[in-house]
Structure 1
Amino acid sequence: MSNTKQYELEVIVNPRLKHSYISISKEKKVVVKTPSRSQKFVEKILEEKASWIAKKLQQTESIKLLDETPLHTLEFLQSRVEHYSSLMDLQYSALKFRKMKRRWGSCSSKRVITLNKELLKLEQKLIDYVVVHELAHLIHMNHSRAFHALVEKHLPYSQTLRKELQTIRIA
């Protein structure tokens, strides 16, 4: 298994799984979840996915973890939503805050905007991007060109902010 010298490997065998899965943990460890106990089977998977693994490990090098200390308050987040809601002339039915594992925010078809409490730890420009992004979903419930044009209209540097946000891992 020559690939394991480049990274730490964890194999989780679960006979109830139908397929095998590869992921990269927060600790930059390659995790293989598989129904098979065969070491040759795992080696084959690692060999087949070697380029994907290398790409993902390289991407994790640029990922930043959030500081533990919040920079803002929930009232500040609410004020940013109200500011951009007014600016974009959009009305939402409710605004909620909760801790989410994978998303910075969401917008439901019932016009409820939910923001991740981890936003409190981000710079204002990144908060503004998430807010405008979610408000834009009130008009476009997808990520079409029209959606991105609307976001870009209110934040002309939104593509840069989006890329920056992608380099930050939610705790």
Structure 2
Amino acid sequence: MSINEINFNNLRIIHVCKVNLKNSYISVKKNGEITLKTPKVSNDFIQKLLRDRESWIRKQLNIVENNPPKSVNIQDEVLLFGEIFSIDSTEAIELREALEKIDISNISNVLKNYDKFYKKYAQSYIIPRVEHYSYIMNLSYSEIKFRKMRSRWGSCSSRGVIT
């Protein structure tokens, strides 16, 4: 594996060459970092790929610039559906009550209570919608599970378990 930097039309791109890859991948992270992962290919192939995908890369960078990450003070605010609510709002009553019972100087306790709140809120929001759409689409499921996952969500098993 080799890592080097490419400057392409005023774009700083990190090129990661991995011999075991079959395809080429371009990603734009939330901090605006552009990564190109390829198998061992020629510089001409890389330049052509970047030329062909330049408009997509710039579109993704524009999305990143126009949607800065929201920062939340976890002791006073809660983030729900992309909006920041005060912990004193009606949406966060359960979270506020849980935080009043614990030592908030221990950040891991606060984060555990946030996770419990989000899980409970997700259950109250998602389960009725799954029931509604399963009825409309004439689909059945056996169980809905809620887990803390970063990238894999909304998947179904052959046994009808939605995670």
Q: What is the TM-score when the length of structure 2 is the normalising length?
A: 0.50
Tell me: higher relative CO, structure 1 or 2? Use CA pairs within 8 A at least 6 residues apart: 1
If you compute each CA radius of gyration, which structure gives the higher value, 1 or 2? 2
**TM-score normalised by structure 1 residue count:** 0.48
Structure that is richer in helix per residue: 1
